[in-house]
């Protein structure tokens, strides 16, 4: 009888995971370093309060409150303080807002309407372009200059009341808050590019504040 050949069974080898683990250890820090974290800025806002007025036994204040108010509409900014509305700045149509549009040839109302239509239709890029063009027509550097002048006279005031017409988007209100929050390196700027590129002025342990406490008001 012929001999039965025995099958040669190779021993099983364990899978070497060391190279893969080394690669994973190297890739994890690289992936973490490449992540862009979202930075969220928060502004504390106070809603308007309705009151029937001070009690009769409360003595009147020595000085009337500033009650600084900035109203935003499609023609510019209306600024009021201590019960009066500031007159139109030089070069603005009369009657008109305190600070008229810097680009008066821009139809801001139409651009707001077009932006809403584009956003509703899903054309986000076109909607953002229309919104940026509308916001860019405002005279933000003059608004800042006026707020600095008021702050220099009322150094202890921190509250600013902000109102807007119904067709004004919330982006315009947020930008008013940004302009009114901190003082920049200079009190006024002649060019918009210089204004937007300016750094905040240092004061104490942080930045020097203008009117950091916004209150949303209801336009009458």
pLDDT exceeds cutoff 90 at 64:
no
Q: What is the pLDDT of residue 114?
A: 93
**pLDDT at residue 18 is higher than 90:** no
Mean pLDDT of 199-215: 87
Residue 218's pLDDT is: 61
218 vs 112 pLDDT, higher one: 112
Mean pLDDT over 163-182 rounds to 91
Looking at per-residue pLDDT, the higher value among 54 and 100 belongs to 100
Residues pairing with 100 in the sheet:
76
Q: How far apart are the first and last CA of the chain?
A: 114
C-alpha distances (whole Å) from 192 to each of 93, 94, 102, 136, 138 are 21, 24, 10, 10, 10
> 115-145 pLDDT, tens per residue?
999 999 889 899 999 999 999 999 999 999 9
DSSP state of 190: S
Q: Is the pTM of this model over 0.85?
A: no
In whole angstroms, give the CA distance from residue 163 to residue 166.
9
Residue 67 has pLDDT above 60, yes or no: yes
Q: What integer is the mean pLDDT of 47-66?
A: 58
């Amino acid at each position: 009888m012929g001999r039965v050949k025995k099958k040669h069974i190779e021993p099983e080898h364990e899978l070497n995971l060391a190279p893969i683990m080394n690669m994973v250890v190297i890739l994890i820090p690289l992936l973490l370093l490449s992540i862009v974290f979202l930075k969220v800025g928060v502004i504390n806002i106070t809603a308007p309060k309705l009151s029937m007025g001070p009690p009769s036994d409360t003595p009147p204040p020595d000085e009337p409150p500033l009650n600084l108010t900035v109203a935003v509409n499609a023609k510019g900014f209306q600024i009021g303080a201590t019960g009066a509305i500031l007159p139109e700045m030089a070069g603005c149509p009369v009657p008109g807002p305190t600070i008229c549009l810097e680009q008066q040839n821009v139809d801001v109302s139409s651009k707001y309407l077009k932006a809403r239509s584009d956003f509703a239709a899903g054309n986000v890029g076109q909607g953002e372009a229309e919104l940026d063009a509308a916001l860019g027509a405002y005279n933000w550097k003059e608004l800042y200059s006026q707020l600095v002048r008021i702050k220099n006279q009322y150094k202890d005031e921190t509250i600013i009341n902000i109102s807007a017409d119904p067709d004004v988007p919330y982006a315009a209100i947020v930008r008013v808050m940004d302009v009114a929050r901190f003082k920049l390196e200079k009190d006024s700027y002649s060019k918009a590019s210089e204004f937007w590129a300016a750094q905040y002025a240092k004061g104490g342990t942080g930045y020097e504040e203008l009117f950091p406490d916004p209150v949303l008001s209801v336009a009458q």
